[in-house]
Structure 1
Amino acid sequence: MPPRRYAFGRADEATHPDSIRAALAEFISTFIFVFAGEGSILALNKIYADPLTSASELIALALANGFALFAAVSASINVSGGHVNPAVTLGALLGGRISVVRAIYYGVAQLLGSVVAALLLRLASNGMKTVGFHVAPGVGQGHGLLLEIIMTFGLVYTVYATAIDPKRGSLGTIAPLAIGLVVGANVLVGGPFDGAAMNPARAFGPALLAWRWKHHWIYWVGPLLGGGLAGLVYEYMVIPTEPPLHTHQPLAPEDY
């Protein structure tokens, strides 16, 4: 198991080709995810006069976000780890799995990917405004915040278990699928209440292009708290820091 390491980053890491490639992978994957996720909302806007009011629409959004994230993580997991989310990056940083420099690179790339996706969606849809996220009528901001914390905790915990954990073994091959599925499931749960962002980058690009900032703070504070907590919990409570001590000799095979 590789040792846990906290580091600011080497002096040449900011310009190292590996850092540039990883940031580019994060940018492209976040773009793919936001384009499909936000685009599914615009598509429903085009089809239905009153979007987000039926179970079929919610299922369509859950599938679009889950499929898009599955593809986005798969496309970048071998280069950058497939974060596609500042909350995942924060969890990995607090767990000592990436440096501060790389975390900053990832965060900037993720936000830029989201903004470019929202901009191109607006151009491609003939000026339709992106929708973004907001707390539904009758739902308090505190409830929305709690939902984002819980859902993002589940997401980042899944990322840790399937993609980051050094002892994941062959489970790593299904990491993108597991991550996409947990996001789709969370959209089904949280969508009617607060949209179920679980990702500050996913919320930022559409909010910027539409200039809709109502309740926007929830989609930063909630995911970052949930993601950071998941990283700390998995890193220090699930991953063993040292091999277990054996106080007795194991039995020979014939003695079982």
Structure 2
Amino acid sequence: MAQNVPMVEDEESFYIGSRVQPVPSTPKPDQSRFEDGKSNACKLSEMLGLEEFLSLNVWRASLAELIGSAILVFAIDTIVISSYETKTESPKLMMSLLISIIIAILLLAVNPVSGGHINPAITLAAALVGLISLSRAAVYILAQCAGSVLGALALKAVVNSTIEETFSLGGCTLTVVAPGPKGPISIGLGTSQALWLEIICTFVLLFASIWIAFDHRQARALGRVIIFSVIGIVVGLLVFVSTTVTGAQGYAGAGMNPARCLGPAIVRGGHLWNGHWVFWAGPTIASVAFYLYTKIIPRQHFHAHGYEHDFLNILKAVFIS
């Protein structure tokens, strides 16, 4: 941090012509350590983006994340319910196609305001890479979770009790209780399998689509419409794959969005809390794995604006201070 501290010439070099010697005096306490500590603390505060907690613009941007997340939960859950209630031959395929479309539309609507995250996994990955600060990420994730609750409340207000009971407001489930020959039984997917599906599907989402949006070369070359359409298609494919590859009834498929799973769980409760941690742990692990991948590949192959908030740089600043 020495480059941030002004260098002051000593008296001998200042009076270089007459070689005046400094007059002996009472030694003053060394301020360099205090100044270095203060400089490190200020730089760490900037890297964490702590001032953004008080920024009105950040909170205004988070409003787009809140509304986008609310619409996302309401739209996706109604798509899930409608796909099965219409008794089509391929409800999972129809559901995946409709989810692709709604994701692309929402990202196009939210992107100009907040960057178009509407997903804590994407927000965390962006924060780790350094595209946004951890403070902004915390505000966004809070808004996304609040929006998810609002979306679930809106859905609860319009569906009847039978549909709510049958589909659990479209929430993320690992297992459900079903009638069996000797009484109710729990059917669904094991925790370890579901966790691996969350990790793999979320990583594929980040690698195969969000990576394009993070790289400003491809973002500029392809344009927002194509990029967000690709993201929507990838999400739809992952939904289709995760709901069909296991063949387990009671398993709702990979969530890939912890906030989307949280809203119905809070509003509906009950078995939606069973294994709910999986829908948070999986995307978190995937986001960290994606960040590590960006650190391993050659720097020239990753072109993104930012880096001042890179997580490793923050850790370095913490240990230096």
Q: TM-score range by the shorter chain?
A: 0.7 to 0.9
Query: Does 2:54 correspond to 1:32?
Result: no
Q: Report the Cα distance in structure 1 between the residues aligned to 2:302 and 2:277, rounded to whole angstroms.
A: 39
Report what 2:229 is aligned to.
177
Q: Report the Cα distance in structure 2 between the residues aligned to 1:170 and 1:155, rounded to whole angstroms.
A: 20
Report what 1:9 is aligned to.
49
For 1:38, the aligned partner's letter is: D
Contact 2:74–2:155 (CA under 8 A) maintained in structure 1: yes
Report what 2:146 is aligned to.
112
More displaced, 58-67 or 80-89?
58-67
Task: Return closer, same or farther for 1:138/1:123 CA change in 2, 3 Å cut-off.
Answer: closer
| Superposition RMSD in Å | 2.4
Deviation of 1:185 after TM superposition, in Å, equals: 0.3
Q: Report the Cα distance in structure 1 between the residues aligned to 2:208 and 2:136, rounded to whole angstroms.
A: 21
Residue of 266, 271, 286 corresponding to 1:226: 286
SS at match of 1:240: helix
Query: Does 2:113 correspond to 1:63?
Result: no
Deviation of 1:126 after TM superposition, in Å, equals: 3.4
For 1:141, the aligned partner's letter is: T
Deviation of 1:76 after TM superposition, in Å, equals: 1.2
**TM-score, length basis structure 1:** 0.82
For 1:214, the aligned partner's letter is: N
Query: Does 2:135 correspond to 1:101?
Result: yes
Residues 42-81 of structure 1 aligned to structure 2 (within 5 Å): 42-44=81-83, 46-48=85-87, 56-81=90-115
**Per-residue displacement from partner, 1:131-165 (whole Å, max 9, x unpaired)?**
31222536321111101101000111234422111
Query: Does 2:277 correspond to 1:217?
Result: yes
SS at match of 2:173: coil
**TM-score, length basis structure 2:** 0.66
Q: Report the Cα distance in structure 1 between the residues aligned to 2:302 and 2:82, rounded to whole angstroms.
A: 51
Unaligned runs of 5+ in 2: 1-43, 176-186, 304-321
**Per-residue displacement from partner, 1:207-229 (whole Å, max 9, x unpaired)?**
11110211211111111111232
SS at match of 2:48: coil
More displaced, 226-235 or 57-66?
226-235
Task: Return closer, same or farther for 1:56/1:239 CA change in 2, 3 Å cut-off.
Answer: farther
Report what 1:161 is aligned to.
211
For 1:201, the aligned partner's letter is: A
More displaced, 202-211 or 133-142?
133-142
Contact 2:171–2:264 (CA under 8 A) maintained in structure 1: yes
Larger Rg: 2
User: Paired residues, what number?
Assistant: 233
Deviation of 1:179 after TM superposition, in Å, equals: 0.9
Contact 2:255–2:279 (CA under 8 A) maintained in structure 1: yes
SS at match of 1:82: coil
Query: Does 2:197 correspond to 1:147?
Result: yes
For 1:133, the aligned partner's letter is: C
Report what 1:189 is aligned to.
241
Deviation of 1:22 after TM superposition, in Å, equals: 1.6
